[in-house]
Structure 1
Amino acid sequence: MYGVTANHVLVGDGHQPLRDVVAAELRRLILDGTLRPGERLVEDRLAQLLGVSRNPIREAMRVLEAEGFLDVTARRGAFVAILSAQQAEDLFHVRLALEPLGARLAASVEDRDETLVARCWAILELVKESGPEQDLDTLSNLHTELHSLIFEMTRNSYLIAIAIPMVKRGQWLLRQSAPLQKPAAWAQHDGLITAIEEGDADLAEAAARHHVLSVRRGLMPRLRPA
């Protein structure tokens, strides 16, 4: 049976579409390690765990499969995906293509939504104020939100549709390997958001590329076999 964490709640009484609520909860259980890489997921057990019927479980699993969190085959069923070193490397190749582009486009928007920029600064301030006492679940979610906001600033629906699942998959990688509870993991975001806010597309693109390369440099040695 699946374990239940202190933060676990039944989702059957939520007011959002059940598919989205269930997907968010399953994603959280994967990210915090309750559902482990390689673990087989059984619809009936998940339905009982989350207090919903099998249909929203099935729909949510399709969402998570598309995001790369699950591997699903017709005969074997659904399993929590195992992120190999090669898959992590592939993810960084995509990040290096999309994140600098997203930063450049976000900085280039003339009538930028300043509420999105303000939220980015609020996230960074919250992390600075909370320091290492902030729990990893919250930090991971804030990091995902911050990078998602940058893509939202672009107003490019095609880029957003491609990039947001990548950001969520990247969160999983960071949860497994990166010290999000250390200030160094957040330090580079200040320059990135400043460049976007000032409309400096070249600097924003360079800052985003430097950030991705820096994260890659810190993570990949931990994922490759010794």
Structure 2
Amino acid sequence: MAGRLGNSKRRLGDDYLSLHDRVIEELRQAILSRRLKPGERLVEGRLAEELGVSRNPVREAIRVLTTEGLVEVTARRGASVLAMTDEEARETIEVRALLEGQNARLAARRRDQDILARIAAVLNEGTVAVAAKRFELLSGLNQQFHNELAAAGRNRVLSDLLKRLRERTAMLFAPTDPERQARTWDEHAGILRAIIAGDERAAATLAAEHVMRAGADFLATLHVPEDGPSLDTMPARPDPAAAKPRPRRAAVGRTKK
């Protein structure tokens, strides 16, 4: 595991964040970038040694990341990186696509200028980071973009649902491929243009397609069957007559014993 978390003890201490916050961020990014793999056990002593800190901030980081849905804790295995089944991933992608589409529709209807200005600022930062190949910045900027987008819908119930869903499934929508990361910000720009224009239908369609594309990229890494999510078959509601496949552990995770 050497070399996967941070560069040095000095970097942890010298950053503007507190030591606890820095450890949380280091572990969060290691999970989102898949340097720590789904299903991998998080051993406090080993992580603390690599980060050059005591066990206490590592223990606190694991607790925080558990509330965010990136880590799961079980009695038999302790803490480990969350590993979803491919069926759980598909269902989550479908739900998030529907909710993001509706939120973008509301944002285009309400067009809160202050919030749209904040979204534009984040979009600009993301575009600059892509051009500079500062890909390590994009995960945080992506979260900011979608958080501001949720606020633009001005529906607190929907915003809260989206926040929980994003935190629970952040690793599904954290592309590591530079080409995909660049496309992500092009798609963000298209969503924002539709919202600014007040085009509710286009905003909803683009936001939903954005999620489905990101989800399809993730599912492709699991080698799921071709009948998985696609842009042409995004469901409006589930078909009760359709037989559900038996859940199986995602290929990127480890099967629990």
- Runs (5+) with no aligned partner, structure 1: none
**What is aligned with 2:88?**
87
Given that residues 174 and 180 in structure 1 are in contact (C-alpha distance below 8 angstroms), is that contact kept between their aligned partners in structure 2? no
Distance 2:161 2:55 in 1: 28
**What is aligned with 2:31?**
30
Given that residues 179 and 185 in structure 1 are in contact (C-alpha distance below 8 angstroms), is that contact kept between their aligned partners in structure 2? no
Matched, 1:74 2:75: yes
SS of residue in 2 equivalent to 1:6? coil
Deviations 1:11-52 (A, max 9, x none): 59866594x554333211212333232221123343455565
**What is aligned with 1:197?**
196
Deviations 1:125-179 (A, max 9, x none): 3444454541322122222221121012234443333322433455423445654
SS of residue in 1 equivalent to 2:93? helix
Matched, 1:221 2:220: yes
Distance 2:220 2:106 in 1: 31
1:82 positional shift:
2.4
Cα distance change, pair 222–199 in 1 and its aligned pair in 2 (3 A) = same
Q: Matches of residues 1-226 of structure 1 in structure 2 within 5 Å?
A: 3=3, 4-6=5-7, 9-10=11-12, 18=20, 20-50=21-51, 54-109=55-110, 112=112, 114=114, 116-131=115-130, 133-168=132-167, 170-175=169-174, 178-179=177-178, 183-225=182-224
Find the structure with the greater CA-based Rg.
Answer: 2
The one-letter amino acid paired with 1:5 is: G
**What is aligned with 2:238?**
none
Given that residues 70 and 80 in structure 1 are in contact (C-alpha distance below 8 angstroms), is that contact kept between their aligned partners in structure 2? yes
The one-letter amino acid paired with 1:38 is: G
Name the TM-score, length of structure 2 as normaliser: 0.69
Name the TM-score, length of structure 1 as normaliser: 0.77
- Runs (5+) with no aligned partner, structure 2: 226-257
Given that residues 41 and 79 in structure 1 are in contact (C-alpha distance below 8 angstroms), is that contact kept between their aligned partners in structure 2? yes
1:180 positional shift:
5.1
Deviations 1:173-195 (A, max 9, x none): 34456545554333222221122
CA RMSD between the two structures: 3.3
- The alignment of Structure 1 onto Structure 2 pairs a total of residues equal to 223
The one-letter amino acid paired with 2:203 is: A
Given that residues 180 and 186 in structure 1 are in contact (C-alpha distance below 8 angstroms), is that contact kept between their aligned partners in structure 2? no
Cα distance change, pair 155–75 in 1 and its aligned pair in 2 (3 A) = same
1:70 positional shift:
1.1
1:212 positional shift:
2.2
The one-letter amino acid paired with 2:94 is: H
Cα distance change, pair 202–6 in 1 and its aligned pair in 2 (3 A) = same
Cα distance change, pair 216–102 in 1 and its aligned pair in 2 (3 A) = same
SS of residue in 2 equivalent to 1:41? coil
1:101 positional shift:
2.1
Cα distance change, pair 176–216 in 1 and its aligned pair in 2 (3 A) = closer
Task: Answer with 8-17 or 59-68: which moved more.
Answer: 8-17
